[in-house]
Every structure is written in structure tokens, then in C-alpha cells.
Chain A
Amino acid sequence: MNKAVQSVVNPSDFDVLAIRSDFPILDQQIHGKPLVYLDNAASSQKPVQVQQAMQDYYSHDHANVHRGVHSLSQRATDSFEAARGKVRAFLNAASEKEIIFVRSATEGLNLIAASYGRMVLKPADEVLITVLEHHSNIVPWQLICEQTGATLKSVDVNDAGELDMQQYKMMLTENTKIAAFNHVSNALGTINPVKEMVKLAHDAGVTTVIDGSQAAPHLAIDVQAIDCDFYVITGHKMFGPTGIGVVYGKQALLEAMPPYQGGGEMIKLVSLEKSTYAELPAKFEAGTPDIAGAIGLAAAIDYMNEIGIENIARHEHELLDYATARASEIKKLKIIGTAKNKASVLSFVIEGIHPHDLGTILDNEGVAVRTGHHCAQPLMKRFNVPATARASFAMYNTIEEVDALIAGIKKAIEMFE
């Protein structure tokens, strides 16, 4: 335990206080106590650099993209496309044509299900997901399976919250067309062996969709090394703004897929009888995009790169290890999700205290955690709990904040005794 404290207090190249000063929202009191923000898996806070980039854009460069010949439109287009370049590099995609801006991970997964899913799925086909999925990687597949007559199947986890890889292998049958799974579980923090999962899927001729919403703020992502066919991220969980997300798709697949939405930007020629579609990525970006959102996301990527994703991961790991050790000292507390390979999430239940009550009591102590089913009801059912409390850590959290969480939990237990 002391080791964790030391390494965070004496960082070689990581200054958590300097990072905190970039996040003014953290510097406030809630119910008279310093805010301890531990709901990062739901949405992270935004550094001033992100806010400034968006503000600058609106103050100096805003116009619609890809349309005008005038200077502002050119500047807006340049900034928007530069943001695409940043995202490409962040994911290490081969081409900017493979980077599609959407509204969120949810919209991204719906795009893939509605366009790719509808294109390939036939009755008797199967889509394979896992019990770890967020509802946004379940429901779009249910919808498309209903529409195409395909069947949705799901891989289970063990009691630690790790995917049953044996079962996964067996469930990749000749009927399976698509396997969709998250990189990191939002409810438990489990890091899935995505590279291996993609390899197994491809060996079985199955297309892979990865929901990287929770991976992007914590891990270096390399879609070429993972070799996945699709990868989705959402801006607001990675220190960027709300309203922006990204679909990465392999170019050949995106070329073959029909558009998701119709409208402006995504067409080449329109007559009243028939239209021809624009080249990638515009084909999937109907209508005026969230230009400022893309610029904000690019600024968030710059910010993370400057600190270094390895440094972020190391710091968060120390927080998680420390929090896990402290939480394990509390007799009535049970951690849900104890995978060997975990990122930044401490999900737990306390005997005799409903998570919702705990959430209110912690809030009174200034500590913000998430309580509920975390949009993962099948997973809650798997662990036989109605809900959990979840503390999730980001680069700006500190050991002292973990202490505040633990103190709050102890207070709640006392109150309920």
C-alpha cells in the first residue's frame, strides 16, 4: 500500500497536481466537501485545452465544412479534417478514409449494425456478443437480428468477470457472421484479450466489431495490430466533448457497405430518381457534422499524448491497486469483477446497503460514484446483483481521493448498522 502512495507522490514524469490544474471543474466543493470525481467511466471531465480549442474554433473559424469557397469554410474544413488525422494516428488506422465521425459510441454501433449487419445477415446466421456488453452493444444487434431473422448469442464470463474463452471459441460456428465485444468492460473493468479474440473470429471467417469506449481513455490502441474490422470510441469518456464519437472500419468493408443515413455531404450526385454516394469517409457522414466536437476530441487526444498514455495507465493502475487493497479491508464489501487484467474500475456491493443509498451518502461526502446497473443489466443478472456501486478512476484522481472514497464507505456502513 505504501509503495503505491510513494510512486504517485514521487512521480518521475507524472505530475497529478499539474494535471488537476487543467481541470477547473475538479476544484469545487460538494455539500461542503471537496469534490472527489470517481464517475469517469460514465463521462470524464474536460481539460481547459479542450474547452479552449472549441472556444477558439467558434470565436475565429466557424463555418460549414466542405461547402463554401470562402475562407472561413476552408478553415473549418481544415480543422475538421486535421481532427480526423489526429484520430487516425490515435487509433493507428491505415487511412483517414477509415475514420468516420459520429455522435457517440452508441451511434457508431448502430451504424455498423444497421449498415454492415443488414448487408450480411440472413436467417440462420448468428451474431455473437458477450454478457459483458453495454446495452449499446446489445440492443442494435437485437434490432438487426429481429429485422433479418438472424440469432443473437452471448458468451458468458467466469466469476472473476473474465470471458470464457473456451466458450467463445465454441460459439464461433459456421453460422456466425459477426462477433461484437468491448475492449474494456464499463461495469467491471475487465480488459478483454481482443487481439486473440479477433484472430479466433477471423479464423472462423467472422467479422469483428470492438466497442472501445472504455479502452480509449486508458490504453494505447492500435487497430492494425488488433486487426479488428470495426472499432468504436466515444469522445466524452476520453476527456473530449459530448456529441462526438468515431467509427473505425477497414476500408474494403466500408466501401462495400450501404450508407447509414442519407442527406447532404454523403452524396456525389442527386437526381430525384437516384443518387450516387460520396467517397469515404463522407459516405457515412450525412449532414453537418459536429465540427467543434471533432476539434475538441483532437485536443483531448493531444492532451493525452502529451502526458503519455503509458503514464496515464501506470498512474491509474496504482490507484486501482490501492483502491482494491483498501476496499478489500472492508469486511462487508464485495468487489464485483476481479479479472487479472483490469482497467480503472472498482465495482462493488456492500452487504445490507443498497448501492443507491450508498451513492447518496457518498455524494454527501463529496464523492461522486455511479450506482445502478451501468447499462449492463445482463451482467448484473449474471452476478446476481440488482446493481453495484462503481468507482472509476482517471488520470487526475489521487490516492487521497481513494482515501475519501473508503472513508465515505465506512461512514455509510456505520450509518446502516
Chain B
Amino acid sequence: MSDLRELYQEVIFDHNRNPRNYGVLENANRKAEGFNPLCGDQLTVYMLVNDQGIIEKVTFEGQGCAISTASASIMTEELIGKTVQQAQEIFDNFHTVVTGGDCDVEIGKLQVLTGVKDYPTRVKCATLPWHTTNAAINQQDEPVTTE
């Protein structure tokens, strides 16, 4: 049970119960859908990016497990005010850590999600919101999937 608590930290439950920045963003200028065919998880990320490439707002909406919901919620908090360039860097670092790479990389609040690295089947839950954001930034038309 102890290692399960590594995965399901209190912060995760909190974000799962009360996801931040949840809902449709009416004035979004970037949007993408993400889908995990393995578990049926589905989410949409909305972004408002200004002319300087700064992310003014990010919201998400969809259905997912506690890990993906918390990951999306924490992600939105992290991204607001960052440039798209910085967003990319944060995702790269996060991806490195949760896929079992160099764990000394600084990832701030995202640290609470690193428990997934011991659950290979759940890594995709944590990264789906980020892949989706990536697609939104790059304005891909096709929905992204984790497969």
C-alpha cells in the first residue's frame, strides 16, 4: 500500500476532486483533442496564446482517471504565463522524469506525478494532457492519441 501512496498522493486527489482551470475557454485561439484508446480517456485543451507567444490562459475539459485529470489540472497551473517555448521545455523535462530518465531534472510542482514512473501502464495517463497541449500549440488538426 505504501508505494501506491507514492502514486496517489493527496495533491492528486485534490486536483482530481477539484480540477483547476476546468471547462471550455470561449476566446481560445488554440485547441486540441487528446485520446487514450487504451482506457477511453478523452480530453480537450484550450489555450489563449498572445502575439508574444505567451500562454495567457489554458483550460481543459474531458473524462479521465485521477492521474490524467490531476496531471491536466496541474499542467494548466504551470503553463499560465509561460511562453510556448518554455512550455515545450517543461514538457520535455516532465517526460524525461516520468519515463524513468534523469530524475534530477527540476520539474517543480509536477513532482507529485512522478509516482507514475513505477507504473508503466499509467505513464500515458500523466502525459496525455501534455501531448494534447503540444498539439494545440502546434495547431495540429488530427486528434492526438497516446498510441
Among B7, B8, B65, B122, find the residue whose CB has the most chain A CB atoms closer than 10 A. Answer: B65
Contact with B along A371-390 (1 / 0, CB 8 A): 11100010010000011000
Is B39's CB under 8 angstroms from A355's CB? yes
* Stretch in A51-59, A145-153, A174-182, A357-365 with 4+ CB within 8 Å of B: A357-365
Contact with A along B26-58 (1 / 0, CB 8 A): 000000000000111110000000000000000
B64 close to chain A: CB less than 8 A = yes
User: CA of A330 to CA of B125 in the docked complex: distance in angstroms?
Assistant: 27
Closest to A372 in B: B39
Q: Which residues of B lie under 8 Å from residue A353 when comparing CB positions?
A: 66
User: CA of A357 to CA of B70 in the docked complex: distance in angstroms?
Assistant: 12
- Of A356, A364, A377, the contact of B65 (CB 8 Å cutoff): A356
Is B40's CB under 8 angstroms from A373's CB? yes
B114 nearest CB across to chain A (Å) = 15
Q: A356-B125, A364-B1, A386-B63 are in contact. Are A372 and B40 (CB under 8 A)?
A: yes
Total residues of chain B contacting the partner, CB 8 A: 21
Is A371's CB under 8 angstroms from B39's CB? yes
Is A387's CB under 8 angstroms from B66's CB? no
Q: How large is the interface on A (under 10, 10 to 19, 20 to 34, 35 or more residues)?
A: 10 to 19
Contact with A along B67-79 (1 / 0, CB 8 A): 1010000000000
B103 close to chain A: CB less than 8 A = no
- Of A357, A372, A373, the contact of B66 (CB 8 Å cutoff): A357
Q: Which residues of B lie under 8 Å from residue A373 when comparing CB positions?
A: 39-40
Q: A360-B119, A372-B38 are in contact. Are A354 and B64 (CB under 8 A)?
A: yes
User: CA of A360 to CA of B4 in the docked complex: distance in angstroms?
Assistant: 9
Q: Which residues of A lie under 8 Å from residue B1 when comparing CB positions?
A: 364
Is B42's CB under 8 angstroms from A357's CB? no
Among B7, B13, B38, B66, find the residue whose CB has the most chain A CB atoms closer than 10 A. Answer: B66
Is A357's CB under 8 angstroms from B65's CB? yes
Among A354, A372, A416, find the residue whose CB has the most chain B CB atoms closer than 10 A. Answer: A354
Contact with A along B120-140 (1 / 0, CB 8 A): 011001000000000000000
User: CA of A355 to CA of B65 in the docked complex: distance in angstroms?
Assistant: 7
Closest to B8 in A: A415
A398 nearest CB across to chain B (Å) = 24
Q: Which residues of B lie under 8 Å from residue A415 when comparing CB positions?
A: 8
Q: Which residues of B lie under 8 Å from residue A361 when comparing CB positions?
A: 4, 8
Residues 98 to 147 of chain B near chain A (Cβ within 8 Å):
119, 121-122, 125
What residues of chain B have their CB less than 8 Å away from a CB belonging to chain A? Answer: 1, 3-4, 7-8, 13, 38-42, 63-67, 69, 119, 121-122, 125
What residues of chain A have their CB less than 8 Å away from a CB belonging to chain B? Answer: 353-357, 360-361, 364, 371-373, 377, 380, 386-387, 415-416
Q: A354-B66, A357-B66, A361-B8 are in contact. List 15 more A-B contacts (CB 8 A).
A: A354-B63, A354-B64, A356-B41, A357-B65, A360-B7, A372-B38, A372-B39, A377-B40, A386-B39, A386-B42, A386-B63, A387-B39, A387-B40, A416-B13, A416-B66
A-B contact pairs, 25 of them (CB 8 A): A353-B66, A354-B66, A354-B69, A356-B39, A356-B41, A357-B65, A360-B4, A360-B7, A360-B122, A361-B8, A364-B1, A364-B3, A364-B4, A371-B39, A372-B38, A372-B39, A372-B40, A373-B39, A373-B40, A377-B40, A380-B40, A386-B39, A386-B40, A386-B41, A416-B13
